[in-house]
Amino acid sequence: MRNLLDFDFDSAHIWHPYTSMTRSLPVFGVHSAKGCELELVDGRKLVDGTSSWWACVHGYAHPEILTAMQKQLHQLSHVMFGGITHEPAIELCKKLIAMTCEPLTKVFLCDSGSISVEVAIKMALQYWQGQSLQGKSWQDQSSQEQIAHQDLPLKQRILTVKKGYHGDTFAAMSVCDPEGGMHTMFGDAVTKQSFVPAPQTAFGEALQADDLTAMRDILSINHHEIAAVIVEPIMQGAGGMRFYSADYLVGLRALCDEYNVLLILDEIATGFGRTGKLFAYEHANITPDILCLGKALTGGYISLAATLCTDNVAQGISQSPAGVFMHGPTFMGNPLACAAACASVDLINRNEWQAQVAAIEQQMRLELKDAINLPSVKDVRVLGAVGVLEMHEPVNTAELQQQFVDLGVWVRPFANLIYIMPPYVISPAQLSQLTRAMKLVATSIKASSACAEPKLISHG
């Protein structure tokens, strides 16, 4: 048996996501990982049902990604991106422009998914700062025109839907669910944005007549102050694992066009095949003005995200008072991360994921459908490589986590959800182990006549 980790030090000094330093939750020490398995320090192996928060779609220790990173590590592990460029960044951006929808031709490489959303929001705000009375840049306007421009209503508010999640940084928090999410935790410190009810029409169904009514109403009244609408297309992730109709996105795109508002799509969780399409917006055959990517971009091997925008957005930003886009993190375009992303995207571009995700979806539908008969289960839903058991009540994460580990799987419940988003390379036997464990754990939960809602939503 390997030497155990210093769990006491970890508990006393190291913060884990969404935990207390005075009432710490138990953690499990991981020694290594390969394929779809995590090996604990005590030698136990767990089938990973979460892809390490939805990122490791190719599994762990993939030889092609490791080789690309090792080569890049010895050549150029990091260099500032200000005034400098390099081959991994150029090649990655070429690949991203080629694989996303045609209007998206400009790429900003950033540190993480949350920062990708920050960048998208800043792009939208700065774009509208650059719109002038006569289409001239700020610098080319006369002083009188600049004064007149300053008196115009400024589109500096973001509109979004409830039950959304877009990240943990401040601008991202401002567009998370305002009732059950982190938006409420920081009060007036977070910018107040505009919200409408979450989409109600389920995926695969024709849009309910009134599902876009609130969105249309607020845009018709306040479009002069709304810079952009941001949504997670098709699947609302950490806000509840909700799958909604593609028709909603079709209608939303039309409303944004009608009222001259930018559309930001947050595909950090859904991008690169998770919902059965390469990008979730393809279900609706629409294109965004700004697109956020992350998580599976590098296959989960190192942190990197990207924000893509259209030529129109880029030109508008260039016409703003600053004349440049005002963002530039230290690790922007990190060569090592870009090399990992290039290898990950190359694997995606082989299109093996399509058959893999289709097989995962079919197997999960078959093996999870009878879970609806369990007293504790409110709903069962599957889309692409996402399988969800929604409970009637919030679950005890620590208690259920231990049950899953005892069953040889890594599943991380949150709120009232038991879900899996496994790596695409998972075997049928491993997937069956996950679905069996989900049903066994759900069976152990005592049903209640009360359907309490969780006070706060986090993704575990």
> For each of the chain's 460 residues, which pLDDT tens digit applies?
456 899 999 999 999 998 899 998 889 999 999 999 999 999 999 999 999 999 999 999 999 999 999 999 999 999 999 999 999 999 999 999 999 999 999 999 999 999 999 999 999 999 999 885 345 554 565 555 554 455 455 899 999 999 999 999 999 999 999 887 766 778 778 899 999 999 999 999 999 999 999 999 999 999 999 999 999 999 999 999 999 999 999 999 999 999 999 999 999 999 999 999 999 999 999 999 999 999 999 999 999 999 999 999 999 999 988 899 999 999 999 999 999 999 999 999 999 999 999 999 999 999 999 999 999 999 999 999 999 999 999 999 999 999 999 999 999 999 999 999 999 999 999 999 999 999 999 999 975 433 344 444 455 5
Positive or negative, the CA dihedral 383, 387, 388, 389 is positive
- From the CA atom positions of the chain, what is the Rg in Å? 23
Which residues are bridge partners to 418 per DSSP? Answer: 389
Separation CA 166–CA 238 (nearest Å): 9
Residues 6+ apart with CB under 8 A from 245: 199, 201, 202, 203, 204, 205, 206, 207, 211
The b-or-e profile of 290-321 (16+ CB within 10 A means b, else e) is: bbbbbbbbbbbbbbbbbbbbbeebbebbbbbe
Q: Looking at this protein, which amino acid is placed at residue 122?
A: K
Q: Which domains does the chain have, with CATH numbers?
A: 7-61+351-444 (3.90.1150.10), 76-349 (3.40.640.10)
Residue that is written with structure tokens 């005890």 in the block: 396
Which residues form the catalytic set? Answer: 18, 165, 266, 295
Phi, psi of 7 (to 5 degrees): -65, -30
Separation CA 219–CA 210 (nearest Å): 15
Query: Does residue 266 have a known ligand-binding role?
Result: yes
**Is the backbone of residue 101 left (phi > 0), alpha (psi -120 to 50) or beta?**
beta
Let me know if 143 is exposed, middle or buried by CB neighbors in 10 A (0-12, 13-18, 19+): exposed
Contact 394, 382 (CB under 8 A): no
Task: State the chain's maximal CA–CA distance in angstroms.
Answer: 77
Closest listed residue to residue 228, CA positions, set 190, 257, 202? 257
Specify the pLDDT at position 139.
57
Residue that is written with structure tokens 């009514």 in the block: 213
Token pair of 361 as six digits: 């979806």
Query: Does residue 168 have a known ligand-binding role?
Result: no
Pairing of strands 157-161, 242-243: unpaired
Q: Looking at this protein, which amino acid is placed at residue 174?
A: S
Query: Does residue 295 have a known ligand-binding role?
Result: yes
Query: Does residue 53 have a known ligand-binding role?
Result: yes
Closest listed residue to residue 355, CA positions, set 380, 385, 382, 381? 385
3-state SS, residue 378: strand
Q: Looking at this protein, which amino acid is placed at residue 135?
A: G
Query: Does residue 394 have a known ligand-binding role?
Result: no
Separation CA 395–CA 447 (nearest Å): 11
**Is the backbone of residue 219 left (phi > 0), alpha (psi -120 to 50) or beta?**
alpha
Separation CA 77–CA 58 (nearest Å): 22
Query: Does residue 114 have a known ligand-binding role?
Result: yes
CA 411 to centroid of chain Cα atoms: 18
Let me know if 110 is exposed, middle or buried by CB neighbors in 10 A (0-12, 13-18, 19+): buried
Query: Does residue 19 have a known ligand-binding role?
Result: no
Separation CA 236–CA 386 (nearest Å): 12
Specify the pLDDT at position 446.
78
3-state SS, residue 418: strand
Q: Which one-letter DSSP state was computed for residue 284?
A: T
Specify the pLDDT at position 453.
43
Query: Does residue 412 have a known ligand-binding role?
Result: yes
Specify the pLDDT at position 189.
87
Which run of H or of E encompasses 292? strand 290-293
Specify the pLDDT at position 450.
32
Separation CA 232–CA 203 (nearest Å): 13
Specify the pLDDT at position 458.
52
Separation CA 258–CA 240 (nearest Å): 30
